[in-house]
Amino acid sequence: MGTERRTINYNVGALVVFFISIGAAAIVYAVGIISFNLFNLPAWVFGPLGVYTLIYSIIAGKDWTYYLVWGTIMVAIAIASALYYDITYIIIVIGILVIILAIIGLVAYWRSKK
């Protein structure tokens, strides 16, 4: 009787991460730790989901570029939403995102040539 390792499907993990982040946001706002701000809601959703997608891209191995790109985009949306207009300009986050996506594309191109 060997132990068989089951791989997690992206959809299942993403759904769990989504509900955990929404639940955590509800608790934080209900207790009053942070005052409610509508502009911060995308950070609660896209932040954990983006980090999960980035981790999944490293662990899964299949379609790693796809998950890496979308994870990076989701994390950029979360950062822009969390820091919104008071701290940083959205254009700076978009510029950094474009640079990171170009690097990911270059690495994917180099890996496909080997």
- Give every CB contact of residue 61 below 8 A, 6+ residues apart in sequence: none
- For the chain, the C-alpha Rg in angstroms (whole number) is 17
- Give every CB contact of residue 97 below 8 A, 6+ residues apart in sequence: 72, 73, 76
How far apart CA 44 and CA 66 sit, in angstroms, is: 22
Per-residue model confidence as pLDDT tens for the chain (114 residues): 556 666 678 888 999 999 999 999 999 989 988 888 877 888 899 999 999 999 998 887 778 888 888 898 899 888 888 876 556 677 777 788 888 888 888 887 887 776
CA separation (Å) from 66 to 53, 61, 73, 99, 108? 10, 11, 11, 16, 10
- State pTM to two decimals: 0.77
